[in-house]
Amino acid sequence: MKEMSQNNRRYYLSEFSLYDGDHFVTFNIVDIATDKITVAITNEGKISVCAFDLKTNDKGLYFEYGVYSEKIAVDAFEQIEEDKGNGKLY
């Protein structure tokens, strides 16, 4: 198993939800590198894992998702807290 860098550890399993006009799509960061981001996407009960090119603008790092190339900022993701006592995520 590859070693996770400190930058990856900061974002690992961070979550972001996007309302696409019909329903919510949830993204969880699985891996992040200098030029790519890999996210688990939950959309209408289906989960897929996809890699996207990272881009930069004046607001920071982002990737584009969907038909309309919705810009999703990496800094918009929130860290999922882990209860250290029982290992549950909430």
Residue 79 has pLDDT above 90, yes or no: no
Phi, psi of 47 (to 5 degrees): -115, 130
Residue 66 sits at the vertex; the CA angle it makes with 5 and 20, to the nearest 5 degrees, is: 105
| pLDDT score of 90 | 47
Asked whether residue 90 is domain-assigned, the answer is no
Q: How many structural domains is the chain composed of?
A: 1
Residues 6+ apart with CB under 8 A from 65: 18, 25, 27, 52, 72
Asked whether residue 85 is domain-assigned, the answer is no
| pLDDT score of 34 | 87
More confident residue, 84 or 27: 27
Dig out the tokens for 65 from the structure: 């998702």
Asked whether residue 87 is domain-assigned, the answer is no
The range of the structural domain enclosing residue 70 comes to 6-74
Asked whether residue 60 is domain-assigned, the answer is yes
d(CA 41, CA 20): 13
Asked whether residue 88 is domain-assigned, the answer is no
Q: 23-46, pLDDT tens digit by residue? A: 899 999 999 988 999 999 999 989
- pLDDT-derived band of residue 58, with 50, 70 and 90 as boundaries? very high
- pLDDT-derived band of residue 22, with 50, 70 and 90 as boundaries? confident
Direct distance between the N- and C-terminal alpha carbons of the chain, in angstroms, rounded to an integer: 26
d(CA 41, CA 72): 13
